[in-house]
Structure 1
């Protein structure tokens, strides 16, 4: 289970004030639509979401379960971020054909590269099923019984709601368990790599510029969805054909200007906008420092080896980027929460809620909520801290420990389900691990292990450590594990896992790497997880009641939107610069000349391909320039988070103007507190994407697929009749 989420009350805001929000697309009519029109939108809510007719939702699939993408041609051409397709680009790369280094462009369909396991999921329909899910749930039920009944109802609704045979029903909770929505989805499983710029464009600035503005990154990649002959989802087959979408996004060549309307449509992962002040203090003072310290140590080791060895650079490129992404985000998040005085503001909002509770005579129902939060967050703090250290060390940053933990889970499967389940799981693990060891370096992982085990032994509260960690010598333990454990090599691992269940388990228990994982896992599941889950279950009930109070007692004009939960959302705003510090103002658009100003020949992060330099010097920008300059990135006030990577930035008429890929560092706290003066999302200007595809790559075959328009010159999308 993830970090607890609770709710605070918003102070009243004027009608139509743009204060962030991630809105359910099927519920935009009314206040949202009016506010969007006030910001300049020329479409209707029905243009965005329509069950019976093609609409924008039909061009915005969930990319591989973690990012967003958009269909930009009638042949299923798919645009997403370079970093969203990074693992696929890496998997196709070798020292001889390094697509990370040189880029890749398919000049015809036959050259497009398959990616087993990659998916694109479309939303077909959204339906409110709160009544069905809450059927039989009563206020007097114990919390555990409520959750069990809700889960049973969700299973029943998912099974019975009408859908096509190739579709799937998914039920998700909103407003902390006060609303439930069902999503009918369609998942395509044949998604092929079409084009990617080299990392010197797609990842320009790398970790130094990550979360930073001004930004100059061409963070995009192109894929294509394939379907069977009936245009339905199918596993990869040479007989599959390009998917014909219900709708694809026309592309505007007119660019953006300050105060232009922008809408970002996508699948934001997780936000906790309604945490109380005590939880924010815990994040600032306890949770984030622990996470950052672990990743500091891991990244320092990986970076050292990647800079020295080209092979390791390829092997660890995707892993390093993944680890570094949130490491830097947590630092900016802490800075933003502190700078914006989020704790103080939330305390004021909690006082406002208390006043409303007293004014309405609701003390018996809601009067104890805030004191209970204080109590439970104090109780859970040491367990959260120990849990974060376990997750960051065992599951996220030390590869040997992560592999060992999967082996540990095998032993649990045997105990719970018997030999056949064990053998099935074991065979799957052996097959899956072949890809893992392709990108594994024991000497890198060894040094990460030594650093992180020392931190774990020192920082995890003593009562939660395994007995074997008393007076631990991390250096000696590291030498023993990496000289004797079978987990450092794929062939050794396969041999370790050969035989019947009892033989494998016996062999595992004699492996020094497995012993470390087993000790850490057993300590976690015996000493940390049960109490953590017990306290969290109590707060889950508080969250739901707190949300109920918020809905009941807030003024009608207050804007209450559901937290992000990986479902399709609309967020809208405008192109806008911002002031991060006194006497500093950032313009909202960057240009190619900024790339050249940052250029450092041969640098890991700021090198520039010679062809891009040539195009810049010749000012050979084609039809994509504006006033003789080549736009690269721009920022807006759209409320985004992880999962919005790859989301289309859409103009007032429904055309594609950009590609969301990041947020500014000072505004990363928007997962917990959206401050309109600091929160900005960062987008690739679509004209830079087209310029790279056309003038840099020469992939005019892809340009020819797209529909390019000039909405500001009168070629506007018509508005549907309501």
Structure 2
């Protein structure tokens, strides 16, 4: 996990300078250079049409979901459009979830719309830049801890001050790594109901194989509705609530688009770390992520083999296996993407140029900055092995289910006792002794092959003793026979008559203590220079700002309202490989013909398409590619054309876009949007959802 680095406050900005269409810009603070570039690309509206607190603007139709996704208001009676993946966990909690996933869900009337409890949406009402008010009260030479304490205190005062003048939710947000501060007010709606969701065979068609890739042929959307009180005010769920009446909702274009057309999105992108140094990025990719990747590969093999031998085991572990497999796939893609786009080399080049600038500068500037880059390099290099092994221990043992029970028991207290025993009960419900045994053997063998003596937990002394002679399998077999944790009956007997002696001598407890002890020892070394690294990084970024005063500043994404723009474009990942700017319905049929399990087709949808679409007409697009810069983990953000009409919603990105956490590359990175016309086709012809279509503001000229 990328470490959060807290930098000095006094105008030390952790920066990334904008290039081409790069940037997730904080609204309403759009630099003139960006506005001018948007105009050159074809934007036909004014900046105030994106964000306006006095009149209607696009920011008023865009909502932030409580689970991190973005959505867009599409009707006067409160209908919302977002990704199917945004509401899939809520569908899975419903009593008839299996039916809804297989057949889809369509509410033929308001009364049939299903409440999605614990899901809410918010709309930004105002944004206030309070940076000056914060920094004016922060002494320049105060310690970082004191500065952060002051920021926290002042922010609470600002929140209370704003709350006294508004009925809206007030939120304080720091950006630019703690050098810019904004105060937001939101109108929050807590009664959200499901109107329509396609079957997963349509919504997630090919997702198992096509995630983060193009061509994309799924219909990743769902239609929801906001409900309010009879006075049209936000309120908790009540069966007597009514649909939200609003004048602010998106116009939907059915005209289509062409290559190089301007597009813009307004949404709530999740998280980026574009300002990371080359040294920190190398550590992240080749130490932290590499440790996780190596462990995930072995876990993948153990679970796959166990599930192949037993359907019972498959039912227990399939979800964990899928999650691990997806994470493994992501880590591999991220590593390849960083390498392919030369992201580390780009950052190294920037750092080298900075060193040359500092040496050629005046004496005081040289004295302040010339040592920063080489010292940072030395600090990161010296802790590489420790950082790798501390994360290897975490991934291989600390996150291992059977040892997690031990960790919980080691931290039990009267305050958390009930919660811990509840979690342990859930563990035994999904527990297979033989599978857990094989996994522990695999992890112990893997770490023994990876680590040198200095990184070995003392439990390996037991394993290498005369009794076991390095036989890990024999050690694990004995451990499982003797431990009260490895058998639910023995565990319950222990609870009936707990004993400190039994607990402290339990082999799983001893193993866990050994792992935790060594991990803590390594961590102390790994993070010993953390404060100095933070200080040096702050100096580096301060120096970047002095060196590049004329360049436009970017702020990392942090779940606040942002604007990003680009064009509809093609994609060529490598020589001789080319993808057009659209993916068409015929591709669904072609993928189905491969007989891959991920491409199971909905025959009725195909029949409807073939009866409605003339083969002599232009291919029927289901998605399109854009150069919009946006995070790809939680999407749903609307894509507008040059006139502010809705033409799609962001649903994914290609492989190379995985690395846009660290760097934007217009040549390789593409965000993928569901074509709004495909959504309309499904609603009208497949679902027969005329009551939805009739409420939409469709623009075809």
TM-score normalized by the length of structure 1 = 0.82
Partners of 1:266 and 1:569 within 8 A in 2: yes
Matched, 1:550 2:531: no
Determine the structure 2 residue equivalent to 1:134.
135
Determine the structure 2 residue equivalent to 1:337.
338
Q: 1:250 to 1:384 in 2, by over 3 A?
A: farther
Matched, 1:468 2:459: yes
Tell me, in whole angstroms, the C-alpha distance in 1 between the residues paired with 2:572 and 2:694.
40
Residue by residue over 1:103-130, the C-alpha shift from the partner in whole angstroms, topping out at 9 and shown as x without a partner, is 2222223333333322323323222222
Q: How does 1:479-494 map to 2 (within 5 A)?
A: none
Structure 2 residue aligned with 1:81, among 76, 80, 83?
Answer: 83
Higher mean C-alpha displacement, 663-672 vs 450-459 = 450-459
Partners of 1:332 and 1:667 within 8 A in 2: no
TM-superposed CA distance for 1:599, in Å, is 0.7
Structure 2 residue aligned with 1:60, among 59, 62, 65?
Answer: 62
Residue by residue over 1:536-575, the C-alpha shift from the partner in whole angstroms, topping out at 9 and shown as x without a partner, is 343333343333322332052x333111222222111001
Tell me, in whole angstroms, the C-alpha distance in 1 between the residues paired with 2:667 and 2:68.
28
Structure 1 residue aligned with 2:381, among 361, 365, 378?
Answer: 378
Partners of 1:496 and 1:504 within 8 A in 2: no
Q: Let me know the Cα RMSD of the aligned residues.
A: 3.9
Determine the structure 2 residue equivalent to 1:685.
675
SS in 1 for 2:539: helix
SS in 2 for 1:140: coil
Tell me, in whole angstroms, the C-alpha distance in 1 between the residues paired with 2:226 and 2:642.
27
Number of positions where the alignment pairs a residue of Structure 1 with one of Structure 2: 684
Structure 1 residue aligned with 2:640, among 623, 634, 650?
Answer: 650
Tell me, in whole angstroms, the C-alpha distance in 2 between the residues paired with 1:634 and 1:228.
39
Tell me, in whole angstroms, the C-alpha distance in 2 between the residues paired with 1:539 and 1:211.
34
Tell me, in whole angstroms, the C-alpha distance in 1 between the residues paired with 2:309 and 2:429.
16
Determine the structure 1 residue equivalent to 2:604.
611
Tell me, in whole angstroms, the C-alpha distance in 2 between the residues paired with 1:646 and 1:439.
35
Tell me, in whole angstroms, the C-alpha distance in 2 between the residues paired with 1:164 and 1:437.
49
Q: How does 1:264-279 map to 2 (within 5 A)?
A: 264-279=265-280
Partners of 1:600 and 1:607 within 8 A in 2: no
Tell me, in whole angstroms, the C-alpha distance in 2 between the residues paired with 1:377 and 1:521.
24
Partners of 1:177 and 1:544 within 8 A in 2: no
Partners of 2:635 and 2:650 within 8 A in 1: yes
Instruction: For structure 2, list consecutive stretches of 5 or more residues without a partner in the other structure.
Output: 8-12, 464-471
Residue by residue over 1:349-380, the C-alpha shift from the partner in whole angstroms, topping out at 9 and shown as x without a partner, is 22222343344422233333222321332244
TM-superposed CA distance for 1:594, in Å, is 0.6
Partners of 1:10 and 1:349 within 8 A in 2: no
SS in 1 for 2:86: coil
Matched, 1:705 2:698: no
Residue by residue over 1:104-160, the C-alpha shift from the partner in whole angstroms, topping out at 9 and shown as x without a partner, is 222223333333322323323222222333344334333333333333333433343
Q: 1:106 to 1:344 in 2, by over 3 A?
A: same
Matched, 1:535 2:532: no
Tell me, in whole angstroms, the C-alpha distance in 2 between the residues paired with 1:312 and 1:103.
29
Tell me, in whole angstroms, the C-alpha distance in 1 between the residues paired with 2:394 and 2:244.
40
Determine the structure 2 residue equivalent to 1:108.
109
Q: How does 1:212-611 map to 2 (within 5 A)?
A: 212-245=213-246, 247-300=248-301, 322-361=323-362, 362-393=365-396, 398-399=400-401, 411=412, 414=413, 419=414, 422=415, 425-427=416-418, 440=430, 442=432, 446=436, 451-452=442-443, 454-456=445-447, 458-459=449-450, 463=454, 466-468=457-459, 470=461, 473=472, 477=476, 520-521=515-516, 523-524=518-519, 526-530=520-524, 532=526, 534-556=528-550, 558-599=551-592, 603-611=596-604
Q: 1:28 to 1:136 in 2, by over 3 A?
A: closer
TM-superposed CA distance for 1:636, in Å, is 0.8
Determine the structure 1 residue equivalent to 2:10.
none
SS in 2 for 1:571: strand
SS in 1 for 2:212: coil
The structure having more radius of gyration, on CA atoms, is: 2
Determine the structure 1 residue equivalent to 2:686.
696
Partners of 2:270 and 2:634 within 8 A in 1: yes
Q: 1:58 to 1:406 in 2, by over 3 A?
A: farther
Q: 1:616 to 1:178 in 2, by over 3 A?
A: same
TM-superposed CA distance for 1:514, in Å, is 6.5
Matched, 1:659 2:659: no
Tell me, in whole angstroms, the C-alpha distance in 2 between the residues paired with 1:56 and 1:142.
42
Partners of 1:178 and 1:547 within 8 A in 2: no
Instruction: For structure 1, list consecutive stretches of 5 or more residues without a partner in the other structure.
Output: 714-722
Q: 1:344 to 1:102 in 2, by over 3 A?
A: same
SS in 1 for 2:599: coil
Q: How does 1:92-103 map to 2 (within 5 A)?
A: 92=94, 97-103=98-104
Partners of 1:9 and 1:352 within 8 A in 2: no
Q: 1:595 to 1:440 in 2, by over 3 A?
A: farther
Determine the structure 2 residue equivalent to 1:716.
none
Q: 1:438 to 1:216 in 2, by over 3 A?
A: farther
Higher mean C-alpha displacement, 639-648 vs 237-246 = 237-246
Partners of 2:81 and 2:224 within 8 A in 1: yes
Q: 1:267 to 1:93 in 2, by over 3 A?
A: same
TM-superposed CA distance for 1:408, in Å, is 5.2
Partners of 2:291 and 2:389 within 8 A in 1: no
Residue by residue over 1:657-676, the C-alpha shift from the partner in whole angstroms, topping out at 9 and shown as x without a partner, is 11212211133222212111
Partners of 1:75 and 1:243 within 8 A in 2: yes
TM-superposed CA distance for 1:61, in Å, is 2.1
Determine the structure 1 residue equivalent to 2:469.
none
TM-score normalized by the length of structure 2 = 0.85
TM-superposed CA distance for 1:180, in Å, is 1.9
Q: 1:222 to 1:251 in 2, by over 3 A?
A: same
Tell me, in whole angstroms, the C-alpha distance in 2 between the residues paired with 1:255 and 1:505.
71
TM-superposed CA distance for 1:497, in Å, is 12
Tell me, in whole angstroms, the C-alpha distance in 1 between the residues paired with 2:661 and 2:535.
22
SS in 2 for 1:27: coil
Higher mean C-alpha displacement, 301-310 vs 153-162 = 301-310
Tell me, in whole angstroms, the C-alpha distance in 1 between the residues paired with 2:313 and 2:333.
28
Tell me, in whole angstroms, the C-alpha distance in 1 between the residues paired with 2:258 and 2:237.
42
Tell me, in whole angstroms, the C-alpha distance in 2 between the residues paired with 1:698 and 1:462.
67
SS in 2 for 1:176: coil
Q: How does 1:173-192 map to 2 (within 5 A)?
A: 173-192=174-193
Partners of 2:14 and 2:176 within 8 A in 1: no
SS in 2 for 1:667: helix
